Chain A
Amino acid sequence: MVDTTPRGLAAAAATMNRAPTRRSGGASLRVLARRRSTTAFLFALPLLAVVGGLIVYPGFYAIYLSMLNKAQTKFIWFGNYTFLFTRDSFWMVVQQSVLFAVTAVFFKALIGVITAHLVNNLPAKGQRKWRGMLLVPWVIPLSLSTLGWWWMFDPTYSAFNWAFAQIGGPHIHWLSEPAWARFCTILVNVWYGSPFFLIMYLAALKSVPGELYEAASIDGASAWQKLIHVTLPMMRNIISITVLFSLIVTFANYDVVRVLTAGGPRDTTHVFATWAFLLGIQSGDIPLGASVSLFMLPILAISAVFILRGVRRRGREI
């Protein structure tokens, strides 16, 4: 049986604040230690190559690229950025990205907490089956499940509109009216991401010691009071880590918007990733695309700092 608690996270976090290696006595031990650290370095070398060559270097290269002109022949400092600031569509993308990420993460977290509690209420032997069923959206490759959603929103054959028509409801242009199109992109993202929150919260719920609830019962706490004063404080750290993770990934999401609306109608659903793709790859203005995608960096960095703090604290708790 596999341990399904976030043990790996905690254990890995412990590396970061582990005390330095033991003091060794004698020359032979010192030689051994030196040989050991050489071997260790060699073991980590391929990792360094991948992380350095394919993540860190391209990261800085993106910053350099974003300061070139369109033909990539001249260094123009912050020309691309100042150009973007004057464009209305840029501010629309900023607005839409924030709206998309914040709304989607909020509902993912909400649905995740609710479903985790519901599953946790069930008798232990039924939980596995339900958990397995509810995680399916997370397992299907996002671009392919979004294709299924797109087909359900199809203007002529929309399955939703067919169902509405049976009860005399309205005919909705799901993907061609800006407000509905925005709603649809968020809905699909919530559908995809909620199961992840469910799994994380369920694991966290299981790790709350039962004695705390017993003590609360003896003190006469109601179910609601137990939730507010026992469950949520115990889960606070894992909730914040999950929310920040999800914020990064949702903010950087490309699949949903590309498949569902490709940014339309009239660019109203573009987020940073799809707009950067449109400018950088499809229109061939790599520097401008790079500068758009780099606007994701601040929110990424802030979230990363807080996640790291949360992970470290969690490592210390366990």
Chain B
Amino acid sequence: MTAAAIGADAPRRVVGGSIRRSRRWALITSYFFLILFAIFFLVPPYYQLATATKTSEQISNQDTNPWLPAMSAGQEGLNPGGANAGKANLAKIKKDSWLPAAVQGFMANISQLMNDTDFPIYFRNTAIVTVCVVIITMVIAVPAAFSLGRMKFWGSGVLATGVFLTYLVPDSLLFIPLFKVVGGLGLLDSYWGLVLVYPTLTVPFCTWIMIGYFQSIPKELDEAALIDGANHIQMLFRIFIPVALPGLIAATIFAFTVSWAAFVYPMAFIYSSDQLVLTAGTITSLVKADVYQWGMIMTAALLAAAPPLVIYAFLMDYYIAGLTAGATKG
């Protein structure tokens, strides 16, 4: 319960109507301004979605309102620059005319994206890199956090501080020396190079979150386990990981979203189309044609952003717990 609500309840009995009325006005004002902010925050994704439902021909028609999604089905074959495969799919989709025009347009853009571009390759590469990085991150961060947070050794306090400091070193400072390092290992222009360097973005913060969660566990628990004869590995897996599971989920989500969204490293290290990931691939290779196919580009941006959004929609509380746990980069 918030303090404001407590404050509202108490004097109501004493003073009566006027305070209740002023509370209501405060609420209405809050909603009004929140709606304004929500519009500001949600306009770009909305506009991306509206564009994603249109053909290039519909987009370049300046008589229609660009803020609205497609109202009528796009003309087959008028999609400039679209390859034949895309057009064939467009025609096939048109037959299901009971679908709203906007949905048809969106599906046509998706099928063109899947058939005529390298988007599926980017998606696959991103998925491979992200899964590998999440696993590597958790395998490194969880035991390290257990050791730094619960076990202690000579210098562990300094190391915990050091981990926190390395978390503050941005990727835009590290990419030039890492370019040389990755090049020296022969991993330039390969997504395995990204698997190698992405842990610099995820490991320090995930360790940091997990230290916090492990330390919030009562000390009696590991003493009891020690008396029962458990060794430290058993203790970690049987007691600490299950108890700190919310923290583990928050850290996993963080690692996932960060490696999905990473941009500087793939821009610097990858240049072949078959090795690119979604962020860099969408920016560099889709946005390069003679005629920008905005409908398709916006569809790509939306699909590429979908996995983090879906995870956020289902695991919002964990997401926010991870965010506030250690004052994430912002």
Residues of A within 8 A of B (CB): 1-12, 14-16, 18, 21, 36-44, 46-48, 50-51, 54-59, 61-62, 65, 108, 111, 114-115, 118-124, 128, 130-145, 147-149, 151-152, 154, 157, 159, 162-163, 191, 193-197, 199-200, 203, 205-206, 208, 210, 212-214, 217, 238, 241-242, 245-246, 248-249, 252-255, 258-259, 272-273, 276-277, 280-281, 286, 289-290, 293-294, 296-297, 300, 303-304, 307-308, 311
Contacts and interface: CB of A to CB of B under 8 A. Distances in A.
Contacts of B298: 147-148, 151
A16 B161 CA distance: 7
A294 B209 CA distance: 28
Question: Helix, strand, loop or mixed for chain A's interface?
Answer: helix
B98 interface: no
7 contacts: A7-B216, A9-B325, A44-B143, A140-B308, A145-B45, A148-B45, A157-B59
Interface of B: 1-7, 10-11, 26-27, 30-31, 33-34, 37-38, 40-45, 47-48, 51, 59-60, 62, 65-67, 139-141, 143-144, 146-149, 151-154, 156-157, 159-166, 168-181, 196-197, 199-200, 203-204, 207-209, 211-213, 215-216, 231-233, 246-247, 250, 257, 260-261, 263-264, 267-268, 278-280, 282-283, 287, 294, 297-298, 301, 304-305, 308-309, 312-313, 316-321, 323-330
B215 A54 contact: no
Contacts of B165: 304, 308
Nearest to B209: A8
Given A37-B154, A55-B166, A145-B305, A159 B197 contact: no
A12 B161 CA distance: 10
Given A8-B211, A157-B60, A191-B44, 20 more contacts: A2-B250, A2-B320, A8-B208, A12-B149, A57-B181, A59-B174, A65-B177, A122-B31, A123-B5, A131-B320, A132-B316, A134-B37, A135-B312, A139-B257, A141-B304, A195-B41, A245-B329, A276-B172, A277-B175, A296-B170
| Secondary structure of the B contact surface, majority rule | helix
Contacts, number: 392
A147 B172 contact: no
Contacts of A144: 261, 278-279, 282, 301, 304-305
A210 B2 CA distance: 7
A278 to B, nearest CB: 11
Contacts of A281: 175-176, 179, 267-268
Contact of A136 (B45, B175, B208, B329): B45
A2 B318 contact: yes
A132 B319 CA distance: 10
A253 B172 contact: yes
Contacts of A135: 312, 316, 320
A115 B324 CA distance: 16
Nearest to A59: B169
Given A37-B152, A44-B143, A44-B156, A293 B325 contact: no
Given A121-B27, A151-B47, A159-B66, A213 B172 contact: no
Interface centre among B7, B153, B215, B316 (most CB of A within 10 A): B153
Given A62-B176, A141-B304, A300-B169, A118 B33 contact: yes
Given A58-B178, A141-B260, A152-B44, A47 B207 contact: yes
Nearest to A272: B172
Contacts of A217: 7, 10-11
B5 to A, nearest CB: 7
A51 B3 contact: no
A12 B160 contact: yes
Contacts of B327: 6, 9, 200, 238, 241-242, 245, 307, 311
Contacts of B1: 124, 210
B330 A249 contact: yes
Nearest to B322: A8
A241 B197 CA distance: 27
A199 B320 CA distance: 8
A139 B153 contact: no
A253 B309 CA distance: 22
Contact of A12 (B47, B215, B261): B215
- Per CB-CB distance, the 6 closest pairs between chain A and chain B, nearest first, are A8-B212, A8-B325, A252-B170, A141-B261, A273-B172, A196-B330
Given A140-B308, A148-B45, A213 B6 contact: yes
Given A15-B215, A245-B330, A293-B176, A1 B267 contact: no
Nearest to A241: B327
Contacts of B161: 16, 308
A4 B324 contact: yes
Given A114-B33, A152-B47, A277-B268, A11 B179 contact: no
